[in-house]
Chain A
Amino acid sequence: MKRVTPAISKGIAENKETMIDALYPIMGGMISKYVTQAIKELMETINKKIERGLSFENYKRKAKAKLSGVSEMELLLEESSGALISSLFVIHKESSLLIAEANLENKEINDAHMVASMASAIKDFINDWVKNSETKNEVQILSYGNATLYIESAGSVYIIAFLDAEPDYEQRTDINEFFAKIVKEYAPFFQKFDGDDSSNEIVTLSMKMEDYLYKQIPLSKEEKKNPAKMILVLLALLLLGYGTYLFNGWYIKNSLENTVYAQTGEQINISDEGATYVLSGQVTSTDVIYEIEELMKRQTKKTINNKLLVPMRYIDKRLQKEKESSEASVEKLESKLASLESGFEKSINGLQEKIFLLTQELQGSDKRLKVLLKDTTDEITVLKEEKARLNRVLEIKNEIFTRLDHSFSKSPYYNKEEHTLDFRKLEVFIASEALYKKEAIQVIAEAFTKYMTILVQYKEYIRSIIIEGHSDSTGLEEDNVALSHKRALAVKYYLERLNIVKQYHMKPFMKIEAYGSARAIEVDGIENKKASRRIKIKFELKESQIINNLRKIIND
């Protein structure tokens, strides 16, 4: 054996972890202490199983060994494997930081980074204790209840596998081989790891670890195969397949015959001739022959060779039945026709009656409509007439106003806005007296005559000449109303005697209105009592009467 040179020895001493990472994939699985330990544990497991002696499992295993030809020892070996790895951690050895993890579904470990650190601390603690006890081994298995941590170290990283039972030799070898692969592939990355988990290597490593975890599931369930048994099973499957094929053909043929019977009531024979079904036998009518053929075409893609026959006795019988059936149908049709004729006649009579009633109703409606139309036309005519009168009156009104405005343009007693004679500037009455002053009534008479000279020319449109009596606000208002009434009445009596009134018969048009002090004259908020004691003369045309007539017509 070649000796290691001092330089190489020094190199190894200074870069121990890098060297182990490089050598681990090669030597990891070969280290004798693991092999020795593993075989020892394996033998213990097997011995325990043999010691179980007369258990049912033991007899079952013996029977299985005899039947399958596999030795009982091999079966025991098989039984001794299969702890499930639920999670894998790759941990940076120096900092104890978790580099990558993978978990089976629903087996995720909470706070994985803390768990990784804590597991490292526990491992360090135990390793320290082991060294103190002068034992050379490193801790590899940590168990608590059903949980087992299998720890395998390389130079700069170690792997922790979380299992539900202690792994056997085969499983440890498998984990170690997988670990060796990832150490070989990722060694440079592991050596430079500084706690940053954002690199792509961590993603690919995690994916590989997850693949490894999920590969164990089908493997643990898969049975180990015996080649002879496999061939026997294959033959059995072939026979079963052929039998199924034959049975399938018979079953389909039988099923088709039953379908034909169920749908047509005919029992026929169907024979399968490869790509063709041959139909044979006797049926009761030619229609059924075609019906069965159509039915078969719907049920199968094979071609149909129709050899079905109908015996003559069925044809004669059928013709006789069809003849009887036709005669019965003719009788039924005749009866139905008679019934329809009778119903039709009744319907026509009913319709004629309805037409007569409707015609009468229409005639009545027509009369009512004509009356209504006439009434409406009359009303429209009246409306038009009234409207024309109204327009005329309005024209007259404007004409009167224009003439009055012109005639009284210089009079102090004419109110141009109201077109009235207002004598507030003339002292007609002494306070509390109804009797007018003589000189004042003459002024009123003169102005009234001039006013009436224009109005009498429009007599036919005049409705009334109104003499308003007013008082000041001194005393009780009911007394004032009575006083103003007397004043208006006194003036009216005087004016009625004027020639212009007599000549044009205007007396019936003259009316009085008493206002008391309701319209007393105020200047700057102070009543002018002299002015309040006054007479006012105005006229009304018939326009309001015409408007009332129009409203009445429209409302009616």
Chain B
Amino acid sequence: MIRKKILLLGDFSVGKTSLVRRYVDGAFDDKYLTTIGVKISKKLLTLNGEEYEMLIWDVEGSTPSKKISLGYYRGASGAIFVTDVNRQETLDSLADHKEIFLNENPDAAYVVAYNKADMLSEVAKEKIELKDDTFLTSAKDDNNVEALFIRLMEKMVL
């Protein structure tokens, strides 16, 4: 079996932990997230008949007073950048998160989640321009969560 380390990155309260909670098979307690700034979960999935395991590092959103250890970023094969589709500032900081991550892992794959889509009206959803590998997700409605993770795994291994 092939295992891959992936990161969940994004600002505070964009719903990273909810996305993970909706998707994974096993996880450490949330208290690790608040104490050391990361929580590890795992997910087994099958692509083209091959089994893969994701070790998902749910990294706490960084603030000026609390920087995240770069050690967490190292050796990741992929990342999911999560934003809150209802909060513009989380969309604006997406580029910073990508830069830090790709500095450490230049060859890594990534996808983007516009999360909390359940709070958007249908009209608002239509206005959002979705580029490649960008998903409108809702942990609450379980919308596009699995597709998001599967797409990332495809990009990493296929």
Contact = CB atoms under 8 A, between A and B. Distances in A.
B130 to A, nearest CB: 30
Interface in B26-64: 26-28, 32, 36-38, 40-42, 53, 55, 57
A374 to B, nearest CB: 98
A117 B2 contact: no
A113 B1 CA distance: 12
Contacts of A127: 71
A93 B5 CA distance: 12
A121 B36 contact: yes
B76 interface: yes
Contact of A124 (B42, B55, B71, B77): B71
Interface in B53-87: 53, 55, 57, 69, 71-72, 74-77
Size bin of chain B's contact surface: 20 to 34
A524 interface: no
Contacts of A117: 5, 40, 55, 57
B8 to A, nearest CB: 13
A95 B75 contact: yes
Given A113-B55, A196-B2, A95 B28 contact: no
A103 interface: no
A125 B26 CA distance: 22
Contact of A95 (B37, B53, B76): B76
Given A113-B53, A117-B55, A121-B57, A198 B1 contact: yes
A117 B72 CA distance: 10
A499 B3 CA distance: 131
B77 A95 contact: yes
Given A95-B5, A121-B72, A128-B69, A114 B42 contact: yes
Contacts of A95: 5, 74-77
Contacts of A108: none
A97 B55 contact: yes
A357 interface: no
Given A97-B55, A114-B26, A121-B40, A197 B72 contact: no
Contact of B5 (A97, A111, A122, A125): A97
A98 B27 CA distance: 16
Interface string A89-123: 00011111110000000000001011001101110
B4 interface: yes
Contacts of B71: 120-121, 124-125, 127-128
A94 B74 contact: yes
Nearest to B69: A128
Contacts of B5: 95-97, 117, 195
A128 B28 CA distance: 21
Contact of B3 (A122, A125, A128, A197): A197
Interface centre among B5, B40, B74 (most CB of A within 10 A): B40
Given A114-B26, A122-B36, A124-B71, 8 more contacts: A95-B75, A95-B77, A111-B42, A114-B40, A118-B28, A125-B71, A195-B3, A195-B77
A95 B27 CA distance: 18
Interface of A: 92-98, 111, 113-114, 117-118, 120-122, 124-125, 127-128, 194-198
Contacts of A121: 32, 36, 38, 40, 57, 71-72
Contacts of B36: 121-122, 125
Contacts of A198: 1
Contacts of B75: 92-97
B28 A114 contact: yes
A491 to B, nearest CB: 107
A343 B52 CA distance: 100
Contacts of B40: 114, 117-118, 121
27 contacts: A95-B76, A95-B77, A96-B5, A111-B26, A111-B42, A113-B42, A114-B26, A114-B28, A114-B55, A117-B40, A117-B55, A117-B57, A118-B28, A118-B32, A121-B32, A121-B36, A121-B72, A124-B69, A124-B71, A125-B38, A127-B71, A128-B69, A195-B3, A196-B1, A197-B1, A197-B2, A198-B1
Given A97-B5, A114-B42, A197-B3, A125 B74 contact: no
Contacts of A124: 69, 71-72
A124 B71 CA distance: 6
Contacts of B41: 114
A328 B117 CA distance: 122
Contacts of B1: 196-198
Nearest to B104: A94
A127 B28 CA distance: 21
A173 B70 CA distance: 31
Nearest to A194: B2
A126 B55 CA distance: 21
A125 B76 contact: no
A196 B77 CA distance: 13
Contacts of B26: 111, 114
A360 to B, nearest CB: 99
A198 B57 CA distance: 23
Nearest to A198: B1
